[in-house]
Amino acid sequence: MRMPRLPHDIRRVRSNPDFWYPVAWSRELRRGRAIGVRYAGQPIVVVRPEAGAIFALDDVCPHRQVPLSKGDVCGDFVRCAYHGLKYSRRGQCFSSDMKIEDDLPRLRKWACQEKDGLIFVFMGPMEKSDSVPLPDIPRVRDPHYRTRRFGKIVKCHYSFMHENLMDMNHQVLHSRLVGSMKPRFLGMERGHDFVEARYTFARMAGKQPLSEALIYGQRRKEGRNFAYRDVMTIRTQYPYQALRIETQGVEEPVMDLWIAYVPQDREEQTNRVFGLLSIRRLKVPFILDLAWPLLVAFTERVFAEDREIVELEQRAWQEQGGDRNQEVFPVIMALRQLLVQNGISAQTA
């Protein structure tokens, strides 16, 4: 059974802009400062005035085209570093002595909100932004969990990232870190804007790593007895992705990951990752805090292995001049369809 070739090369499918995309962590932008970010090649300046809410404009001064984010914030205005032109949160241009500059066009503004320590920008038309909800990441605010924020630039199309997380048959890649794990696929659900897959695992060889014990809240000495007791659920809820682990005898997930891949360049072949990894606190809660640096190192190493492999996939795609993958796993075939149908294909763009 070969996958029917999709009409579009999935690695050329643009992400759909009619969503809220995280563009920076809240902690990156202090009061009275501006920050330059990108979505799919579009430069955006996000401004946090001394008072009031953040706002976002095109990060290009219409006068001389330099990035406004190189300038500074004066009251409720962002001021261009070059000639001192000032822009209000509505994009109106003022001269340095605060006269309206009619010669210069108004700057495009972007809907912009802050939630759960993330700064989101709505990349579609402003008027649509009200009807599209911000993503909800409830564990971040739940005192029973501790959350790690992480993310790096990954040099590949976002679809490689979705496929990587969704396809749990890649345990070999992490075997040096987690030992030999055998996944069992439990089933999949799908809708017009999501794909969800469930797996369970058995340890085939090797000891349970300490980091895993901390996540599950259990030390498992004999692997076989604990085979297939946990359920891992991975869901692409377009355009975001989530992964949670539930284990027998614990009502709430022991781990809950929310992750977004935000295209940086116009070709969307470089993505910035925003990940929030929430781990349920143990009965003796400070143990998790004590072990936190260990968990950080462990997850960082797993993520580094994933990043290396998806960047190799991207490089192969580049060299081969297109997608030659021979996909056979129905979950990944469904996921690809989802990403193509919800994204913007080159031909239809």
Positions in the binding site for a copy of itself (CB under 8 A): 1-2, 41, 60, 62-67, 70, 79-84, 96, 103-105, 167, 169-173, 309, 312-313, 316-317, 319-320, 324-328
Buried-exposed string 50-78: b where 16+ CB fall within 10 A, e elsewhere:
eeeebbbbbbbbbeeeebbbebebeeebb
Rank residues 212 and 323 by Cβ distance to a copy of itself and give the closer one.
323
Helix 158-166, helix 330-342: angle, nearest 10: 150
Rank residues 287 and 316 by Cβ distance to a copy of itself and give the closer one.
316
Residue 127's φ and ψ, nearest 5 degrees, are: -70, -20
- The distance of closest approach from Cβ of residue 28 to a copy of itself in the complex, given in angstroms and rounded to an integer, is 21
**Is there a contact between 330 and 194 (Cβ–Cβ < 8 Å)?**
no
Provide CB contacts within 8 A for 40, sequence distance 6+: 14, 15, 17, 123, 263, 264, 265, 266, 268
- Hey, how many other C-beta atoms are within 10 angstroms of the C-beta on 290? 11
Rank residues 171 and 345 by Cβ distance to a copy of itself and give the closer one.
171
Rank residues 149 and 174 by Cβ distance to a copy of itself and give the closer one.
174
Q: Would you state the structure tokens that stand for residue 144, as one six-digit string?
A: 């029973």
Rank residues 70 and 155 by Cβ distance to a copy of itself and give the closer one.
70
- The distance of closest approach from Cβ of residue 328 to a copy of itself in the complex, given in angstroms and rounded to an integer, is 4
Reduced to 3 states, what is the DSSP secondary structure of residue 279?
A: strand
- The distance of closest approach from Cβ of residue 68 to a copy of itself in the complex, given in angstroms and rounded to an integer, is 11
Rank residues 43 and 117 by Cβ distance to a copy of itself and give the closer one.
43
- The distance of closest approach from Cβ of residue 164 to a copy of itself in the complex, given in angstroms and rounded to an integer, is 9
Q: Which conformational region is residue 249 in: left (phi greater than 0), alpha (psi within -120 to 50 degrees), or beta?
A: left
Residue 264, classified by CB atoms within 10 Å of its CB into exposed (0-12), middle (13-18) or buried (19+), is: buried
- The distance of closest approach from Cβ of residue 99 to a copy of itself in the complex, given in angstroms and rounded to an integer, is 13
- The distance of closest approach from Cβ of residue 308 to a copy of itself in the complex, given in angstroms and rounded to an integer, is 8
- The distance of closest approach from Cβ of residue 172 to a copy of itself in the complex, given in angstroms and rounded to an integer, is 4
Cis peptide before 239 (omega within 30 of 0): yes
- Hey, how many other C-beta atoms are within 10 angstroms of the C-beta on 141? 13
- Hey, how many other C-beta atoms are within 10 angstroms of the C-beta on 249? 7
- The distance of closest approach from Cβ of residue 169 to a copy of itself in the complex, given in angstroms and rounded to an integer, is 5
44, HSE (Cβ side, Cα atoms, 13 Å): 27
**Is there a contact between 57 and 110 (Cβ–Cβ < 8 Å)?**
yes
Rank residues 98 and 172 by Cβ distance to a copy of itself and give the closer one.
172
> What CA–CA distance (Å, rounded) separates 23 from 28?
10
Q: Apex CA 22: angle with CA 53 and CA 295, to 5°?
A: 115
- The distance of closest approach from Cβ of residue 75 to a copy of itself in the complex, given in angstroms and rounded to an integer, is 15
Rank residues 93 and 118 by Cβ distance to a copy of itself and give the closer one.
93
Rank residues 2 and 221 by Cβ distance to a copy of itself and give the closer one.
2
